[in-house]
Every structure is written in structure tokens, then in C-alpha cells.
A and B are shown apart, each in its own frame.
Chain A
Amino acid sequence: MAIVVKIPTQLRAATGGASSASVEGGTVGEVLDALYEQFGELRERIADDGGLRRFVNVYIGGEDIRFLEGLETPVEDGDEVTILPAVAGG
């Protein structure tokens, strides 16, 4: 299943400038793992022991995965996963 992941500008140095990537996976966690396979440097930027760093937000179709099932949230073909910094706003 092809899932599109949108990459924020701050991480594009690690993706060779790409603003999105297409990867396979059945859950958000699997999608991110597949993304790290493609762009190794991304893992150390946003991943923490088994999870995500605390200032990283991940959304599916605009919904924060913390309102869903976190990294276990299932994804379907055509879903769009967005990674964004959490430090904005207020």
C-alpha cells in the first residue's frame, strides 16, 4: 500500500530536498520505519527510543495520531501522513 508522507522543510536536508515520499506500511509506525529505511538520517532527527521525540507531531489526514492509536494507528492506501514541528503557535 502506498502512503504519501509529507516532509517539513526542516527535515528536507535529510531527504535530499524531497518534500514528500511514498512508502509502504500498514500502521503509522511501519510507515515511519519504511521512511527511515529510505532516508537513514531521519531516524535520529525525529525518533526516540521506540517512539517519537516530544516536539514532533504526526498527523493522518490532518488528525494528530495521539487522538488515534499513536504509532499503532492503521493506515490505508492513499492516506497522507504529515510530519510537523510541535513548537509552533500560541
Chain B
Amino acid sequence: MPPESLTCKECHTVYPLDASYVCERCFGPLEVTYASRADVEAAELRRRIQAGPHSIWRYRDFLPLTSPPPRDTLPAGWTPLLRADRLAERLGLREVWIKNDAANPTHSFKDRVVAVALARAKELGYHTIACASTGNLANAVAAHAAAAGLDSYVFIPSDLEEQKILATGVYGTTIVAVRGNYDDVNRLCTEVSGEREWAFVNINFRPYYAEGSKTIAYEIAEQLGWQVPDRIVGPIASGSQFTKIARGFEEWIEVGLLAGAVPTMNGAQAEGCSPVATAFAAGQDVCRPVKPDTIAKSLAIGNPADGPYALDLARRTGGGIDAVTDEEIKAGIRLLAETTGIFTETAGGVTTAVLAKLAERGDIDPGERVVAIITGEGLKTLDAVRGTFETVEIEPSYDAFEASVEARPAPAQPVAA
């Protein structure tokens, strides 16, 4: 099922599979369309997937490459899906699973999308890859470019977390720190992408890049024994990943790899940057841009490109889009860590806090099978947990240990978000 064309999501004008992302007729976004899969047996597809590598390339029948995937890529994807019984118990739910995408080569889901965009960029003969990033994408672009021997430029807001900048620069990329927020960075990169022969993974390669997020859905389904979960709770920044996860389930239902319907889709935003949640609550079809002010910097996109599609998806599946405060985000990070052993970054705190909020509000039927998408690693946003606990410092003597550590009152149970 090779990719066939790029098609405008709005007016359906068809374009060749080039480095383009915008419909020249109506400015709508372009999306990859594939040759019909109708004549392929589901059993044969399943066999091909199961014979594939333990990475996103096992799903290459559903990815936009015209030749076999390159061998010099970091192995993105095939991250653990963990049953989180202790978290479920705390929230009064029956079955909660965590898709831990921190377990990717550069510790976020961005490795999936970059692997696909970079492979396509190589197919089209590009030598330089670039991105506009809130941090995780910069990590992934720099690392994947290093692995493939390509030049790279990463553009980031200058106030980004230090951990993300350090973990990017080490790969030998050119980091451009822009004095502005992510939306300023994105505007600048959109201009630059028109003037340079570079593969901007999330601009002129966005149609290919976005397809990488479908692999999250494929993995969840495969790891659940070829089943669709009842509900997905995942973060929303631009809305691309959120909509592509649903698309992944949809495609597999269409070809008969899965039975049932697309899960109920719940999106998670930080209150300090919640244009999509605000539009959802107000019943609007489009998002009014905002100036972000939140600790969840990886989700701090004030002008979300796929906002209208995320809104439509949440409504169509009976889900919703909620926002949580910075305090709730910190509590979410803590809750996930203490009940699952997974330390996530602020974006995962947003997702966990929204999951807790949905459970508390009674929106989730206790019988449901829920999957929360944890997109990144806690070590990248250490400031979010600084000062949230104490260490006991003692002299190196048994008496001091007994007097200070064991005499301490039991730590209070943190309150769920």
C-alpha cells in the first residue's frame, strides 16, 4: 500500500508526494493518501507486521515511504504499554494502561515522527533537516540527523528548559534560540522554509512527519492483543498527534485488523495554554490563539495548526478536551511516578492530571479500558519537581540514621489532581 499522493484535507485537491504541506488553492493542510488496501487480506497484513522489526518500521505498510526504510535510523517506537493497576485503583477505575513513549531513543514520542520525516527527506534527496521545536523535537531532529549523517538546524524558544538544550547540543547540531515563544519560532521557520532547500520536519515535511504518530495507535492495538481500547487520554499541543492516533485506529478498523470503533478521545492541555480546550468548552469550531504561560513548555503552542480537527475528533467520539493548572500538572507527575514508577515530563503531568479529573468527574465508566499517552521523560523538566519533597541529610552514623530517618513521620499521601 504505497503512498499515492498528498491531498488537501479541506478542498481535496491532489498533489504529488513532494516537500509541500499547504494547498495552493485554499491554504488547507495536505495529508498523505495511500493506494487502496481493499484487496489485501488482514491476515497477510498482520503476518507482515509481526515479521517486522521491533520499531515503527514494522508498520511500514501504513507509512509514507516509497522504498524500504533506511538502516541508519535510531530505532523509534515499540515502547512499553504498561498496565497501571495502582494508578487505576487510586482513581477508582478498573483498567488503566500507560503507553510510555519516554522509552524512545531521545525520550519522547518525537522520535517516531522524525524517523518518518527524515526517511522521506532522504528519499527526496535532502541533505539538511530542520525544525521549529518546543524542545523534544529539537532533541529528536539533532539525534536522528547525527545517526544519518545529515546536517541539522533546530529553532527553539530561547527560554527553553536547560536540560532540553543540553541534550540537543551534544549531537552537534546548530541550535538557533529565538527570542520569542514557540509561535514566533514557528512563524520564523515557516518563512525560512520557503527560502531554503531544507527539510523542515514539521513544516514542509509535515504531511509525512504527522503520519509517524499513527504508530502509537498501531502499537497500542497490537500490544492489547489486536484490540481497540475504549478511551485514549493524550496531550494536545498542535493537535497533530491527537488526530493521528485516532487515524491509526481508523485505518486498522478499515482494513479489518481491528474490530470496533475509534476510541473515545480525550485531549489534555495546560490552562496556561489551552486554546483547544477553551474552544471545546465554548462550542467553537476554530481556536483563538493565545500567548502561552505554563510550565508545560512542550505543549506551549498558542496557535495550534490542527486545532479544528482535534475539536471535531473529540466531539465526534464523545470525548472532550480539558485543561489543568500548573499545580495539577505537578501533582499529575507525582501521581504517575508514585503509582507506576514512570517519571514523566510536564506534558505527561498534564495527561495524568486530566485523566484524574475525568475519573473524579465520573466521565469514565468504571468498566472502561483506558490508555493514557505519556509522551516524554521527566529528566527533561526537572524544575517541575524541584522542592516537592525533602531529603534527610545525616552524619554517617547508625545513631543519626535511627534518630533522623526512622523517627520521621510517615510521608503524607499526595492528593490526586
B382 at the interface (CB under 8 A from A): no
Interface size class of B (residues with CB under 8 A): 35 or more
CB distance from B208 to the nearest CB of A (A): 14
Question: Would you give the shortest CB distance from B154 to chain A, in whole angstroms?
Answer: 13
The answer to whether A4 has its CB under 8 Å from any CB of chain B is no
- On chain A, the residues within 8 Å of B28 by CB distance are 53, 55, 87
- Per-residue CB contact flags for chain B residues 155-194 toward chain A (1 = under 8 Å, else 0) read 0000000000000000000000000101110110111011
CB–CB B186/A45 < 8 A: no
Cβ of B238 under 8 Å from chain A: yes
| Residues A88 and B21 in contact in the complex (CB < 8 Å), given A53-B27, A55-B27, A67-B291 | yes
Counting CB contacts under 8 A, is B18 at the interface? no
CB of B291 within 8 A of CB of A87, answer: no
Cα A87 to Cα B186 in complex, Å, equals 10
Evaluate contact between A87 and B24: CB separation under 8 angstroms.
no
Decide if the interface of chain B is mainly helix, strand, loop or mixed: loop
* Main secondary structure on A side of the interface with B: mixed
Q: Which of A55, A62, A64 contacts B289 (CB 8 A)?
A: A64
Chain B contacts with A in 288-317, Cβ cutoff 8 A = 288-289, 291, 301, 303-306, 308
Which A residue sits closest to B210, measured CB to CB? A90
Q: Identify B186's interface contact among A13, A46, A82, A89, CB under 8 A.
A: A89
CB-CB under 8 A for A89 and B301, given A54-B308, A55-B10, A62-B184: yes
A26 vs B251: C-alpha distance in the bound complex, in angstroms? 50
How far, in angstroms, from A41 to B194 measured CA to CA in the complex? Answer: 20
Please determine whether A10 and B24 come into contact, CB atoms closer than 8 angstroms: yes
* Residues of chain B in range 176-230 having any CB-CB distance to chain A below 8 Å: 180, 182-184, 186-187, 189-191, 193-195, 200, 202-203, 206
A86 within 8 A of B: yes
For A86, what are the chain B residues with a Cβ–Cβ distance below 8 Å?
27, 303, 305
Known: A46-B27, A53-B26, A88-B202. A66 touches B305 (CB 8 A): no
Q: Which residues of B contact A (CB under 8 A)?
A: 10, 20-22, 24-29, 132, 180, 182-184, 186-187, 189-191, 193-195, 200, 202-203, 206, 237-241, 286, 288-289, 291, 301, 303-306, 308
Interface pairs (6), CB distance under 8 Å: A8-B191, A10-B20, A67-B289, A86-B303, A88-B190, A89-B183
Sort A-B residue pairs by CB-CB distance and give the 8 closest, nearest first.
Answer: A90-B238, A9-B194, A87-B29, A89-B186, A85-B22, A88-B203, A90-B240, A55-B27
A contacts, CB < 8 Å to B: 6, 8-11, 13, 45-46, 53-57, 59, 62, 64, 66-67, 82, 84-90
